[in-house]
Amino acid sequence: MFLSVFDMFKIGIGPSSSHTMGPMVAAARFLDTLRAAPFSAHGLKGSLHGSLAFTGVGHATDRATILGLAGFTPEGYVASEADAAMARISAEKRVTPDGLGALAFDPATDLRFDYDHALPGHANGMMLQAVDAQGDVILSETYYSVGGGFVLTEAELAAGDDVDQGPKVPFPFRSAAEMLEMAATSGLSISEMKRRNELSRRPAAHLDEGLARIWEVMNGCLSRGLGRDGILPGGLKVKRRAKAIHDALREEYGRNLTAPHVINDWMSCYAMAVNEENAAMGQVVTAPTNGAAGVVPAVIRYWLDFVPGAMSTQVPEFLLTAAAIGGLVKYNASISGAEAGCQAEVGSAAAMAAAGLCAVMDGTPAQIENAAEIALEHHLGMTCDPVRGLVQVPCIERNGLGAIKAVSAASLALRGDGTHLVPLDACIETMRQTGRDMHAHYKETSLGGLAVNIPNC
């Protein structure tokens, strides 16, 4: 089993990796398929199903799909260009992707929210079609956005193509138990094993540049969030709070009478800054998803800003360790809120962050595994119930609490010797089972929980 660090940490746009980035990626893939087809299309159509339909408006799924069909990608997204393109498409009722010419597409009628027909493969399903001048379908494909920006066609999902098909890596651990056994046998840390796996697929310079870029974008997103106030888009009139909290904390910093628990406010405002940027459709890094994007960078910033001896040169070690844990969760359970609730998003992120922090604070592989388990265990059962389908309430604050839990988990693990009762593998399997049994109303459909109990929403 191998999932690259660049699969777990993808640079993209808010507000959702599965509901915004995924559909945009799916649309881009469909255009590539159409370019390779032996016939010419006249127009395009699409439909959104399951969670993509129920919370699609709040997650800008329709906008992302339309822009994807126009040739936009998450990596190359520029907000001003996207706004101009949306206005042009609405007026002209066509898209003009490179290599395909003008294709008829009316956003008001050619992209449907289908609330009645869920697709069988995953809760996040969508269908895209190309039609001829008579309106007959000449090409059709079903895509599933399976979390964290990962996208599979119906055939790929059925064939198990979400499992790595590349050449064998030096340390192909598929479970935490295998990871610990390989670490003991090799004498290497988790991050060193993960690095060697990555180097079997790409040059060292590319790996190092990519890791530096991930942290640059994460930290840039966090810093932008700390500098902006105002009202978030979407209609809930949620105020940005990270800047005001951060300003107050900076004013208080250094006072002898500051209570120790105020450190939690620093972690919270760091995480909230990221998720406020995500909610405003800014540039963000999946960690492992957009909805949970604030936890990992908040813990890294906390460590760099407040922990004696912390050095930015260790950030790659943090990211590689976190990615190793995130890969285990995705491979053996899920990182999709639509599939397993928020335990799969913020819970996974907290486990990743706890493991990364434990690693850079000289934790052993056993302590790192323990830290990840503690963080994930205490998110088990957490539902995904975004109010009005927006990644704002409870998502923004939830990232702050996820960061606090991650730091607490790492600290507890470092106080022990790594031995503990519940293995990380058992915790991941429990999360999978809990997600399977969780009612669909609590899995990113906004049909239950806070989403239906907040007045006037």
Residue-by-residue DSSP string for 388-405 = GG-S-TTHHHHHHHHHHH
Residue 279 contacts residue 15 (beta carbons within 8 Å): yes
Q: How confident is the model at residue 53 (pLDDT cuts 50, 70, 90)?
A: very high
Q: Are 442 and 341 in contact (CB under 8 A)?
A: yes
* The amino acid at 202: R
Residues found in the chain? 457
Question: Tokens standing for 123?
Answer: 């809760």
Q: Render pLDDT for 372-414 as a digit per residue (tens, 0 to 9).
A: 999 999 999 999 999 999 999 999 999 999 999 999 999 999 9
How far is it, in rounded angstroms, from Cα 302 to Cα 309? 12
Report the amino acid identity of residue 151: V
Element spanning 265, H or E: helix 263-279
Number of Cβ within 10 Å of residue 42's Cβ equals 16
**Residues 222-274: tens digit of each pLDDT:** 999 999 999 999 999 999 999 999 999 999 998 888 899 999 999 999 999 99
Per DSSP, the three-state class of 138 is: strand
* The two three-digit tokens of residue 154, written as one number: 């119906």
Q: Rounded to two decimals, what is the model's pTM?
A: 0.93
Copy the structure tokens of residue 178.
């295998």
